[in-house]
Structure 1
Amino acid sequence: MRFFLFKILILSYSIWGFTQEIDNSYLIDSIQKNILNSKIIDSSLIANSHYRIGELYRYDFQADSAYYHYHKAEKYYKNLNNKIKLARTLYGIAVIQKNEKDMTGSELTSIEAISLLESLKETNEVKKYKSFIYNNLGLVFGQLEQYEESISYYKKSLDLKERLKGNNEVTIIKSKNNLALSYKNAGIYDLALEYYSQIINKKDLINNYPDIYALVLDNFAHTLYLSGKHKDLPNLYFDALKVTDSVNPNGYNSIIINQHLAEYFNNIKNEDSAKYYAYKAKNISEEYHNDDLLKSLLLLSKIEKGEKAAEHLKAYVKLSDSLQKAERAIRNKFARIRFETKQIEQENIKISKERTWLLIISVVAILASFLLYLVITQRNKNKELQFIQKQQETNEEIYNLMLSQNESIEEARTLEKKRISEELHDGVLGRLFGTRLSLDSLNMSNSDEAIKTRSQYIEGLKTIEEDIRKVSHELNTDFVSGSGFIDIIKTLVETQSLAYNLNYALEHDDDINWDSVTNKKKIHIYRIIQETLHNIYKHASASKVNISFKSKNNVICLTIEDDGSGFDVNKAKSGIGLKNMNSRIKEINGTLSINSEKDIGTKVTIEAPIP
């Protein structure tokens, strides 16, 4: 909301301009407060605000405040590299310097502004500000009484103004008036009168711009007076005074006209009228306390006689000294502002360098940290890869061991089955076959009972023969290979239990089809049992361990339970063993849960899908 009001204030300023309807102090206070209170991050907007405050102060004749804000705007525009607005701001500074009698400073500032504009494309705006700056240079050299240079700059200004787009009648008239003024002060009265006549004869000038008409008419009358042409005097002075009083009675513009009237009447020895207009000029100029008051006092010192003349002369000297001191103070203040700004700029440069070095050091530190992070990360990845490789080698070793052990078991079983088969075939089966033949030979007896009995024996022997043949055939066929994994687990448990001085119980569900379980999953289950038994020995101080395999919904459920000391699962640190178990469980898409109670024992439950 504050920022919105700020923009409204600026807009109102730009629309209304500097008229009496605007409360300048209200605008200045409002803009300043919004600059301080609003979080404005647009440097261009801040620069424009300082420039406009400077303009308001300049037209309110507060030179030091105007200079301060102009100077602020100058710094922002320099940082933004906005040459046109920077030149415009420098023009405002040059005008203040000229008004405060710092002619050298005003000249240098004006030349700097002109140089900036010369580097830009000659747009209408560029030409406008160049004409203003040339006009200011004309005023500077006019006050320095260097009228040749003054006339030259006025002509440049007038030439540019006549080439501007739009209605520039007023500003052209002012330049012609200034040019005529320099001709008048240089004693070239004919050219001065020529320019004054051009202005006065403009149609409707008195109606449209009465204040300008009165100013030009007064200058025209004073030029006639200086050139010795008194025919139309003092009527022209009276006409000018009448017009200016109709606009602003006893206003600032009437001071010079009253001075000229006093000068004229003093010249023709009309002392009363001379005193009247001289005192009138003095009384009005006292409100402004500037050079016009100084001129009025000097004029009265010439018109009055005796002690009064001396009093006015003393007042003149005193005011002159006071104005000079004030002008020096203002110029010194301007110098201090620039000096302090230079100091601030140097400090800002120093801070900028420090920030640059800090940025460089920070970037280097960040890059070094990033490289160090990459090195450490890569090293950890290498370690992880080495661990995985080592784990793979261990798994392969276990797998080969399991295969070797399984082959030994299967070989022993095969030999045993072959031996039993041969024994059945060559021993029992042979004897039974001989008995059957003997019985068959005894079948020669014709008694019904003998025949019936022999037939029953023979049939029984046939049945035994077929059963033994069937058993022999089945024994000679390979066992289901899956049963070998349980034997491997049993060997592991027996070995570990013996080494760890543990009693064990191993239960397994015969429904588990270990042939459908991948070798990778078998290896991980083997390793998990091995790691769990090691942890029981190392931490639990247990005396017994129960291990069971069950099948539920095509999921292998492995339970390992001990009667050890137990531990707090929530507070226990995750060591390398538990991390490895979790890693293996993750590999086989299983789940791991650990339940433990102090002084009761620990139960590890692992579930893994069979496929």
Structure 2
Amino acid sequence: MLQWENPGLVVEWIWIGIGLFLLTTILITVLVVNYLKSIRKSRQKVMQLVRNTQTECWENTLHIQEKDRERLAEELHDNIISNLNLIRLNINHKNRDELNLDLKQSMQLIRELSHNLTPPDLGEITLTDLIADYLNQISKTIEIDYRHRVTDASISSPVKLNMFRIVQELVTNTLKHANATRIDVSLRISLEYLMLTIEDNGNGFRQENNYNGIGLRNIQSRAQKISAAYKLKSKPEKGTKFIACVVIE
């Protein structure tokens, strides 16, 4: 029978083996625990980022809604109510044809306001026609040059709506503040991208002083929703130019 020459040495090596096994097990356990902690922290960071993004989007949505309400109140007070009040005051001083013309103008303002608040079914109209319909109404008060070049590209409803609202925001502010006599609008849609350019010949402004003067926050919010890159250029007495680009996926 085979016998060990030094049984004590064998026992020593056994204990060394057991110790190495235990150390390896502990090391693996520590690594697994740290890895799980890292995953947990990463998950918490992602969840916090999601919550922050949701909060920011909600705040932007509320801001846009509030701006729309303010615009509605302003339009009703400054234009429609004022026009109707003038009709009431002049009802005994104007003839029937003049009063009829004043009423038609008030009705036109109401139609424009309704169109601005609720555009047509986005699934049933192209962005080109949606903008054209809006600018056709504006052309009664200012010269509009609308150019468009479109390929057979599919544009989602969110892109249509937000680009349309951006056009409204820019044109409305041009009419109110720029003292412009002309607005040039260009829309180009290819299979890869959509590019919108709006330029006026108005007063312009110093961007470092009045960069928020044309409702830039609304434009920023809508551009972010559709991942649009944009640039605004303006100088005093040189007009204002806006360019936006959206990648079509």
Hey, what's the Cα distance between the residues in 2 that align with 1:605 and 1:386?
Answer: 23
Aligned to 2:158: 520
Q: Which amino acid aligns with 1:403?
A: D
Runs of 4 or more, structure 1, over 6 Å off, are: 397-400
Contact 1:509 1:550 in 2 (8 A): yes
Structure 1 residue ranges without an equivalent (≥5): 1-379, 408-481
Hey, what's the Cα distance between the residues in 1 that align with 2:242 and 2:156?
Answer: 22
Aligned to 1:53: none
Hey, what's the Cα distance between the residues in 1 that align with 2:117 and 2:232?
Answer: 27
Aligned to 2:147: 507
- SS of residue matched to 1:607: strand
Aligned to 1:569: 207
Hey, what's the Cα distance between the residues in 2 that align with 1:496 and 1:519?
Answer: 23
Aligned to 1:532: 170
Q: Does residue 596 in structure 1 map to residue 234 in structure 2?
A: yes
2:121 maps to which of 379, 403, 419: 403
Q: Which amino acid aligns with 2:128?
A: I
Equivalent residue pairs, number: 149
What are the residue-to-residue correspondences of 1:276-355 with 2, within 5 Å? Answer: none
Hey, what's the Cα distance between the residues in 2 that align with 1:579 and 1:517?
Answer: 24
Hey, what's the Cα distance between the residues in 1 that align with 2:238 and 2:217?
Answer: 24
Structure 1 residues 563 and 490: CA distance shift in structure 2, 3 A: same
Structure 1 residues 488 and 573: CA distance shift in structure 2, 3 A: closer
Contact 2:204 2:238 in 1 (8 A): yes
Q: Which amino acid aligns with 1:559?
A: T
Hey, what's the Cα distance between the residues in 1 that align with 2:63 and 2:202?
Answer: 32
Contact 2:162 2:222 in 1 (8 A): yes
Q: Does residue 387 in structure 1 map to residue 62 in structure 2?
A: yes
Per-residue CA deviations over 1:286-334 (Å, capped at 9, x if unaligned) read: xxxxxxxxxxxxxxxxxxxxxxxxxxxxxxxxxxxxxxxxxxxxxxxxx
Aligned to 1:548: 186
Per-residue CA deviations over 1:350-391 (Å, capped at 9, x if unaligned) read: xxxxxxxxxxxxxxxxxxxxxxxxxxxxxx98x937716948
Q: Which amino acid aligns with 1:570?
A: E
Structure 1 residues 579 and 537: CA distance shift in structure 2, 3 A: same
Aligned to 2:107: none
Structure 1 residues 553 and 487: CA distance shift in structure 2, 3 A: closer
Hey, what's the Cα distance between the residues in 2 that align with 1:582 and 1:589?
Answer: 10
Q: Which amino acid aligns with 1:506?
A: Y
Displacement of 1:532: 0.3
- SS of residue matched to 1:402: coil
Hey, what's the Cα distance between the residues in 1 that align with 2:64 and 2:178?
Answer: 31
Structure 1 residues 518 and 573: CA distance shift in structure 2, 3 A: same
What are the residue-to-residue correspondences of 1:102-181 with 2, within 5 Å? Answer: none
1:489 maps to which of 121, 127, 131: 131
Contact 1:507 1:547 in 2 (8 A): yes
Q: Which amino acid aligns with 1:502?
A: I
Hey, what's the Cα distance between the residues in 1 that align with 2:120 and 2:224?
Answer: 22
Contact 2:229 2:246 in 1 (8 A): yes
Task: Name the Cα RMSD after superposition.
Answer: 3.4
Displacement of 1:553: 6.9
The structure with more radius of gyration:
1
Structure 1 residues 552 and 403: CA distance shift in structure 2, 3 A: closer
Structure of greater relative contact order (alpha carbons < 8 Å, 6+ residues apart):
2
- SS of residue matched to 1:532: helix
Structure 1 residues 575 and 386: CA distance shift in structure 2, 3 A: same
Structure 2 residue ranges without an equivalent (≥5): 1-54, 70-114
Contact 1:512 1:550 in 2 (8 A): no
Q: Which amino acid aligns with 2:237?
A: D
Structure 1 residues 398 and 573: CA distance shift in structure 2, 3 A: closer
Displacement of 1:581: 0.3
Displacement of 1:485: 3.0
Displacement of 1:562: 0.6
Hey, what's the Cα distance between the residues in 1 that align with 2:129 and 2:142?
Answer: 19
Comparing both structures, which one devotes a greater share of its residues to helix?
1
Displacement of 1:551: 3.5
Hey, what's the Cα distance between the residues in 1 that align with 2:185 and 2:156?
Answer: 21
Aligned to 2:223: 585
Aligned to 2:27: none
- State the identity %: 26
Hey, what's the Cα distance between the residues in 1 that align with 2:246 and 2:215?
Answer: 19
Hey, what's the Cα distance between the residues in 2 that align with 1:562 and 1:571?
Answer: 19
Aligned to 1:4: none
- SS of residue matched to 1:556: strand
Displacement of 1:496: 2.5
Contact 2:197 2:241 in 1 (8 A): yes
Hey, what's the Cα distance between the residues in 1 that align with 2:60 and 2:225?
Answer: 15
Comparing both structures, which one devotes a greater share of its residues to strand?
2
